[in-house]
Structure 1
Amino acid sequence: MPIRIYTSLEELLPCGKSAVALGYFDGLHAGHAAVISRAVAKAEEGFCPCVFTFTVKGGHPKAKPQDSEITAESQKRSLLEQWGVHLVLEPDFSEFQQMPPEKFVDEVLLHRMHAAVVCCGTDFRFGHRASAGVNELAALCRDRKIALEVVPPVTYEGERVSSTRIRALLEAGNVEQAAVLLGRPFAYDFPVAHGRQLGRKLDFPTINQAIPGEFVKLRRGVYASVTCAKGSFYPSVTNIGVRPTVDDHQPVTSETSIFGFSGDLYGQKVEVRLLKFLRAEKSFPSVQALREQIVIDSAAALPISRSYLDGEANYGRIGTLQSAHTML
């Protein structure tokens, strides 16, 4: 069933009794998936699996300049649909930041979302000035005959999986470790824009995608990647940077050369998955030297990309991540 998104508390969700996953869910990483999966599992008992999350355009005490996007909005919605979520209520934080805890439960969870089951993480807080946590939520749910499931943090190598941890990995170029914490390869799907056509002149045509300023900072350099073009995935090599050899005053862009594909992708949202960091961004003494390096980069990227497409690589497998859930 296609996912339906509602962006205001003025809307009533058109569903019967629901199981609601609560959280900011800014990165949709493995920890977030653990919470959301509990709500989705309730579909087998006849409950509508829903997510309550929010945007922070109107301001939020947790929103800081370094809290850049890990997952683009369109990808978030696609992932939630793949995970089995039917409905999402995603108002701006400013719509409910003044609500006392009791009103949030009554107005949002009961009246708007028809919640019979609520799932959240151990650090979930709500109500005016984040005055209530899971203990208060448990008491409020108990009084209203709402079942509550609190999911402990998912950990990897003894540390909690968090968006902050993933951002640090991506800024360091460690996309392989980030994939483990995300539970999938790190990817983006920004629209393809016209570039300077330098790649064509070098016999390596590329697709160019501007990286928005609010998106997570990625280590500049070259990555082995795979790219979804016209519904199929192809091996590729991607450069994240500002093209210092030809123009180092441009915004950060993603330039991807797709092996085995020819066609027009301008204006389309194209998904690029970064698999492995190959080398740092650098300037070359000439365009010819740049072309020679592209040949080397392509040769290094191709076996990595093909291994992933052949299902031999272990990108985003979460078997070593640990979690459990608690009923309150």
Structure 2
Amino acid sequence: MVQVWEDWRALPGAARGGTVALGNFDGVHLGHRAVLAAAHAARPDLPLCALTFEPHPREVFRPQDPPFRLTLLPAKAAALAAAGCAHVHAVPFDAVLAAMPAEAFLDTILHGALGARHLACGADFAFGHRRGGDVAMLAHWAEARGIGLSVVPPVADASGPISSTRVRRVLQDGYPERAAAMLGRDWEVRGTVFQGDRLGRELGWPTANIWLGRHLEPARGVYAVTAALPSGEVVKGVANVGRRPTLGGDPETRLETHLFDWSGDLYGQEIGVRLHHFLRPDATFNGLEALKAAIAADAEQARAVLG
């Protein structure tokens, strides 16, 4: 079971003295996994830890930007645990941390608080006030203190280095399969099911609705999906990402999922919806009968795609 620590100032002994992978780890893609693997391979005798920042620094510096997160902390911690992490240090990113000079970040947090005995990062890792610290500085600092450092080159595919930015771009372009190839798993949106206007139920297509919230908004439209339910069951379905233009429009983007051959009450419970294939863009229909016919066609296509 992974331990998530959100206060670096009060860590117990068990959470200190590990081999520490450094990064934002948004998405925990194959490049991130390579950094974690390098940290573990260098010191397999030590607990594997990941140091990340919450919220993501970009959310602090550019709060007006649209949401862009691939993984919020619980999902990020779960993915880091699946990659072998025993401890996740989710260092609170705020004005105080943003103003901390690079050397102070190393001395105070990595050395003082975490007692890191080995470090691993990507070649472009930067840290400290105005990203003033780089890998060369980190290497010099670590060597002076007898701390090992693994600098990991980017993991690349046919299109170039894998990055969170590239994963976001393919999701926004409607290619969840390409995102899955870079993540090493299907991209999932986790959220709490809220009670809508129950129109789907009236149309004969009940849906479990969640808000995207701080998650990246993928291409709006219809997807073949699977949903991970609180019971542990994974159910196939069809989902729509959008703002319901036929019904007058929502101020926020929602993910509405119809689960195939399943019935039950999910209100107030958390589900994870995994996007597999993009079926068609969002559309406005001329009335509810046309909408109903479109949903039926989408469901049939989603069943065929999911097999």
- The residue number in structure 1 matching 2:49 is 50
Deviation at 1:40, TM superposition (A): 3.7
Percent of aligned pairs with the same amino acid? 35
Q: Deviations over 1:14-45 (max 9, x none)?
A: 325310001121222221121122224456x3
CA spacing shift, 1:275–1:98, aligned 2, 3 Å: same
SS of 2:53's partner is: coil
Q: Does 1:155 align with 2:173?
A: no
The answer (yes or no) to whether the contact 2:210–2:255 under 8 Å persists in 1 is: yes
CA spacing shift, 1:13–1:108, aligned 2, 3 Å: farther
**135-144 or 25-34, larger mean C-alpha shift:** 25-34
The answer (yes or no) to whether the contact 2:54–2:73 under 8 Å persists in 1 is: no
Distance (Å, rounded) in 2 between the aligned partners of 1:122 and 1:72 = 24
Q: Deviations over 1:175-224 (max 9, x none)?
A: 11111122211111110000111111121111111121x32122111000
SS of 2:270's partner is: coil
Deviation at 1:262, TM superposition (A): 0.9
The answer (yes or no) to whether the contact 1:13–1:112 under 8 Å persists in 2 is: no
- The residue number in structure 2 matching 1:171 is 172
Deviation at 1:122, TM superposition (A): 0.1
Q: Does 1:271 align with 2:240?
A: no
TM-score for the superposition, normalised by structure 2: 0.91
CA spacing shift, 1:157–1:92, aligned 2, 3 Å: same
Distance (Å, rounded) in 2 between the aligned partners of 1:3 and 1:93 = 21
Distance (Å, rounded) in 1 between the aligned partners of 2:252 and 2:103 = 46
Distance (Å, rounded) in 2 between the aligned partners of 1:75 and 1:56 = 13
Amino acid at match of 1:179: A
- The residue number in structure 1 matching 2:222 is 222
Deviation at 1:54, TM superposition (A): 1.0
Q: Does 1:198 align with 2:196?
A: no
CA spacing shift, 1:272–1:67, aligned 2, 3 Å: closer
The answer (yes or no) to whether the contact 1:9–1:108 under 8 Å persists in 2 is: yes
Instruction: Structure 2 unaligned segments of length 5 or more: list them.
Output: none
- The residue number in structure 2 matching 1:9 is 8
Alignment of 1:97-112 (within 5 A): 97-112=98-113
Distance (Å, rounded) in 2 between the aligned partners of 1:249 and 1:115 = 47
Amino acid at match of 1:23: G
Amino acid at match of 1:124: F
Distance (Å, rounded) in 1 between the aligned partners of 2:63 and 2:248 = 33
CA-based RMSD: 2.1
More helix by share: 2
- The residue number in structure 1 matching 2:93 is 93
Distance (Å, rounded) in 2 between the aligned partners of 1:72 and 1:114 = 26
Distance (Å, rounded) in 1 between the aligned partners of 2:91 and 2:109 = 11
Amino acid at match of 2:215: F
CA spacing shift, 1:14–1:37, aligned 2, 3 Å: same
The answer (yes or no) to whether the contact 2:176–2:277 under 8 Å persists in 1 is: yes
- The residue number in structure 2 matching 1:129 is 130
SS of 2:10's partner is: coil
The answer (yes or no) to whether the contact 2:189–2:215 under 8 Å persists in 1 is: no
Distance (Å, rounded) in 1 between the aligned partners of 2:103 and 2:287 = 66
